[in-house]
């Protein structure tokens, strides 16, 4: 009688864990891709703002807010912001500066620029926007940093918003420090003015030489008493109480 033949069992092949290699490799490649995505997308121009309370760095939205970024960089390269102050501080709302000297005199500015609030960027904590008066297209040199998510500053179909053109990528702790300085009336401002000077010592584009000297724009700045939109970052003006 012929005995049935059973197929031999496959010999054990060492190295079975090698099947995990593609998964491990995929994870590693994915992590590497995430790390370089900002570079592939093209990081925006970075500007460092140095104050007497510390320094912070803004990354600008060159592509999504081109007019506002070009306007801001022009002021930076002219040395416009050197020796100005943060004149408006509202905890859990914004800090605003770049337009007044320590004695609350307005610096001259160039012509206002078109409002780019419809660029899709929103007023989240740590973003930087262009201050203006109640007039939609009145922004010039003054800027603000959001201390919180401020949806009320974003545009709606029925009204203009406030244009975001950058975000803080380093030194938000310095901005928060500015955001808690004691405030009150000072100079022409009836409220929200720091009771100690928060001085902007210099503003510089990273990777560029500092400007040799400030040049004087021809247009006059909005006077400190100009009215702002209720609860919004206006040109030197205080907000309407209860509408932040």
**Domain 46-205 sits in CATH 2.40.100.10:** yes
Mark 82-92 as b/e (b = at least 16 C-beta within 10 Å): bebbbbbbbee
* Residues 20, 157: Cα–Cα separation, whole Å: 53
Query: How wide is the angle at C-alpha 87 spanned by C-alphas 85 and 91, nearest 5°?
Result: 120
Examine the pLDDT at 37 and tell me if it is beyond 50: no
* Residues 137, 130: Cα–Cα separation, whole Å: 10
State the residue for tokens 């297209």. Answer: 137
Least confident of 24-33, 82-91, 134-143, 151-160: 24-33
Q: Which of 217, 58, 231 is nearest to 143 (CA)?
A: 58
pTM for this entry: 0.75
Whether 151 contacts 123, CB under 8 Å? yes
Query: What does R_g of the chain's alpha carbons equal in angstroms?
Result: 26
Residue-wise pLDDT tens digits, 90-117: 999 999 999 999 999 999 999 999 999 9
What pLDDT sits at residue 211?
A: 57
Phi, psi of 130 (to 5 degrees): -95, 120
């Amino acid at each position: 009688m012929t005995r049935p033949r059973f197929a031999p069992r496959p010999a054990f092949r060492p190295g079975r864990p090698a099947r995990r290699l593609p998964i491990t490799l995929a994870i590693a490649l994915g992590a590497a891709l995430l790390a370089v995505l900002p570079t592939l997308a093209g990081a925006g121009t970075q500007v460092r703002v140095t104050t007497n309370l510390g320094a912070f760095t803004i990354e600008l939205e060159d592509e999504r807010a081109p007019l506002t970024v070009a306007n801001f960089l022009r002021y930076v390269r002219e040395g416009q912001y050197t020796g100005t102050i943060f004149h408006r501080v509202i905890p859990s709302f914004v800090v605003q500066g770049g337009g007044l000297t320590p004695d609350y005199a307005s610096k001259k500015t160039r012509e206002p620029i078109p409002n780019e609030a419809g660029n899709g960027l929103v007023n989240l904590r740590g973003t930087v926007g262009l201050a203006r008066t109640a007039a939609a297209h009145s922004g010039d040199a003054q800027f603000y940093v959001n201390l919180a998510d401020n949806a009320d500053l974003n545009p709606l179909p029925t009204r203009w918003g406030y244009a975001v053109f950058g975000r803080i990528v380093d030194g938000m702790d310095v901005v928060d420090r500015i955001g808690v300085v004691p405030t009150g009336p000072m100079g022409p401002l009836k409220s929200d003015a720091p009771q100690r000077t928060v001085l902007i010592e210099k503003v510089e584009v990273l990777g560029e030489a500092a400007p040799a000297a400030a040049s004087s724009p021809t247009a006059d700045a909005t006077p400190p008493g100009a009215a702002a939109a209720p609860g919004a970052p206006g040109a030197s003006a205080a907000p309407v109480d209860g509408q932040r």
